[in-house]
Amino acid sequence: MKDKRYVRLLCAKHAYNPMKKLSELAVYSQLLFSDQYGKRPDAKELSLWLGLDSRTAANALETLEEMGLQTNSKPRHPPSDWFLPNNNFERKPDQHWRYCYSSWPCYILKPTSKLTFLSAALYSWLLLHTKSKKPPVTAPAYLSRVLLCERHTVNKLFDNLEANGIVVQGTVRVGHDFILDNFEDSVGDSNKGRELTFEFAEVQQ
């Protein structure tokens, strides 16, 4: 799994889920994926696979254990109202229970990337909408629930993407050199040549 390109993050229900950080959601989501293949990753392995700081991964494991969501890296079933269900999926007897929940792909950073984990998550979320006819909701109030962060942090994340040339005047650039520089194994293969334009003014509210 060292060449893993992305982790599928579960969609947390903001009103009920007590998770406070996206790193906690990422670690739990990765534990589910690993459990499907009988793996029990430690903090060091989770750090490598997710592009997180090792201390952050360890803290997330501790928090998840306190929540009753994992024991010795073995994920536990969450309360029924913590995550959005995958209503379009009919689980087969031999399929892992992680498929019962809705999820979205968050691309993995290279160790040398200048982006933050949260910035990469925002970019990944915006990239999903390059295939959608509807523009993404960019209001901080909404994105703060998606990314499990404060509203003012969302503005800083857009600043970080702008500073790295990924967002330019409300347009998300894909298929460019920054992808190879920042993400594992070219995140933009299926999106090459696409661009996503949104109303950037919404982010400044």
Range 123-152 average pLDDT: 82
C-alpha closest to that of 126 among 137, 110, 111 = 137
Residue 179 has pLDDT above 70, yes or no: no
SS3 158: helix
Q: How far is CA 10 from the centre of its chain?
A: 8
60: which 2 tokens? 């997330």
pLDDT at 132 over 90: no
Residue-level pLDDT at 122: 92
Distance CA 59, CA 92 (A): 34
Please state whether beta strands 70-71 and 171-173 pair in parallel, antiparallel, or not at all (unpaired): unpaired
Rg of the chain over CA atoms, in angstroms? Answer: 17
Kindly report the pTM of this predicted structure.
0.85
Confidence check: pLDDT of 143 > 80: yes
- Kindly report, residue by residue over 73-119, the tens digit of the pLDDT: 999 999 999 999 998 878 788 889 999 999 999 988 888 888 888 99
Which pLDDT belongs to residue 171?
Answer: 74
The whole-angstrom separation of Cα 196 and Cα 167 is 9
Highest-confidence segment of 56-65, 112-121, 174-183, 192-201 = 56-65
Helix, strand, coil tally for the chain in percent (to 5)? 45, 15, 40
**Are the C-beta atoms of 30 and 39 separated by less than 8 Å?**
no
Average of per-residue pLDDT across 70-74: 96
Q: Would you state the torsion angle of the CA atoms of residues 117, 120, 122, 124, taken in this order, to the nearest 10 degrees?
A: -130
Q: Which range (30-44, 52-66, 96-110) has the least confidence? A: 96-110
What is the DSSP annotation of 87-156? TT----TTS-GGGGB-EEEEEPBPTT-SS-HHHHHHHHHHHHGGG-SSPPP--HHHHHHHHTS-HHHHHH
Residue 88's pLDDT is what? 80
